[in-house]
Structure 1
Amino acid sequence: MLPSESDPTLTKMEIEDSSALLAEGQSKFQYSVLELRRRPFRTVSVCLGVLCLLLLVGIIGQAVHHNKVEANQQNKHSALLKEQDKLQENLKTVLRDRAELRGSQSRLQDNYNHLSSRMEELETNDKINVESLETSQAELQTSVATLTKERDQLKTSQSELQRRNEDLTKANDFMQKSHNSLSETKDKLQNNYKSVVKERDQLQNSYNNLTRAKEQMQLDYNVLYNEVEELQARHNLSTSEKDKLQSNHDNLTLQNEVLQKGYAILVKGMKQLQAGFSNLVTERDRLSVVNRNLTTERDALEARNSNLTAERDQLQKQLNTTIEKITCLPGWVKFQQSCYYLSSSLSKKTWSNSRSDCKKKGGDLVIITSPEEMAFLNGLITARGEFWIGLSDSGQEANFVWVDGTPLVTPFWAEGQPNHHGGKEQDCVEFWHRSSGNGAWNDEQCTLESSWICEI
């Protein structure tokens, strides 16, 4: 902007100098520098004002930022404290789970070693007997069905033996309690018997003392009686002495009667004590007979329990032998006493169609009853996905039942499941694969299509 002639701070000389500079073709930059030199105080004032404004804005922003940072730090500190408590609880849970997992790992390692050796044998046998297996597949299916029936029968027998063992254990506990009660009663009777014997001894001592006193009184009486006879002989000598002796004789007679009554009372008390002692002896003999009978019955129950235990062990050995003889069809994987079939991740069906496919293969959708089986299935699945299992509550809401009709006892739900997400009827259960752990369950709509797991 050109300098105004009305500016009082510019002199005429300065105006002429500016015009001269413009006339000489100086650059705009030089002109601006010259203008700033001629008005330094205004420029400095503007710069200081802008700088103060910037400092004020910076201070306000710094204060707001500091308040936000302090609030965030406080929230983070509270969250960290909560997270610390939660981590401590999780640490305890993890320690317990680690101990359990170590035991499970040891068992799984043993099972893995056994399965590895068995797998090598099966691979060798498979290479040798491929052609014979193809020709005898129908016979193997019949054998598998027979073995399955035998397995079910063995399971039923095992359950019955388990129930009998529990009944015997309860009976044994009852007998043990009865024996302890009888022992306590016997101890009490023994203490009572000792107390009665002690009282009897005391009464016997009292009786002996009274007997000795009586004998002494009898001797005194005899002596007095002799003296009375002597006095009677001397009756003619002194009537007054006779009366006196008669009085003494009467007193002694009264004392003798009193002693006789006391002796009768003691004899009666002794008879009562004798009767009570006889009753206690009879009761003790009866309790001894009852105790012997109970002991005999307990020994018989223990022998029966031992026989049942031996029979159970024998059946378990037979079951294990039968399980070891079971071989799975090609495409199936063996675990414990069952064979498992995992459908392709590209093949997906509804829950009912998946079950129909398992039935065509001679099995049904898998039934999971243990953490070891969960871990095995989770390891059998090589990629993340969802697989139908044989569990649903289509019959009654929230009452999950396996495909064989047994109710759900040991669940392995994922966190927050089952939840009927979105208010939909999620009546069928699927298996969620996890990269670590044993996997989990989720309820889902039966009409959705997923992969599936079969079991024979």
Structure 2
Amino acid sequence: MGKPTPAKRAASRRHLAFRKHKARAKETVASGFQDLVTFFQSPTGERFIILEICILIAMTLLIYILYQKEMKNREEIQEAMHMIRTFVVGMEPFYVDKDDFQILAVAQNKSEEMRYYSKKNEELQKEIDILTRNLNDGWVLYSRAFYFFSLELRTWMDSKKKCEKEGAHLISMETKEEQYFINKQVKHRKMIFWIGVFKDKGKKWSWLSGMEAAVHYWNYYEPSYKENHNCGAMTFDCYYENCWNALDCDLQKQYICKKGPDDTWL
């Protein structure tokens, strides 16, 4: 047999080195495993194992609790969805076969409608309360407006301010029916009342709104052209249904206030 070639000797050396490395690795693993066994057998290792077990149990318990909570939430959601579906289908059978998203959309629309009607109901209740309070305070209701026939005596200007303080205006008659209603009330009381008609700077008879009193109900021989007779009043002593008198604005007379929905019926 011949001598081994350099290549074979090199390969042999590499193989031997590999076997030595593998043997050392096995010894290292065995040594590490033995150290780990020794550690777990020690008091410290036992406490470590107990701690790890406790952590594992706690994590398992936490996962279980979260799972139960999630399942409960799902049950509550399903129950709520069932109630919503029952409500919607009860009002509109058309939606019986619709999916949950469509049912929720309908329920939201119904909820908005209910909020709207609830708000309107509150507004109406406030109006009813105001109406009741006005009636209890001596105001007279006619055709969606309130009228107050005073008992106290004031000048025309003071009467105007008094009405405004009550959230109203010294009366202006807008229709023939309203004029006849006021006539009847004044005749029943048998007194003279200031109304909201006056002679403006242009010597025209106008309402407090600034509109000219184109339709008027002056009494016989009225309006008076006497000096300072620049304010209108209603008397119970009428020429047919014509009851307006022109008087001195500084005279002390009773007055009539008026307020309607636009005055918020304060």
Q: TM-score, normalising length from structure 1? A: 0.27
Which of structures 1 and 2 has the larger relative contact order (alpha carbons within 8 angstroms, sep 6+)?
2
Pick the structure with more strand per residue: 2
More helix by share: 1
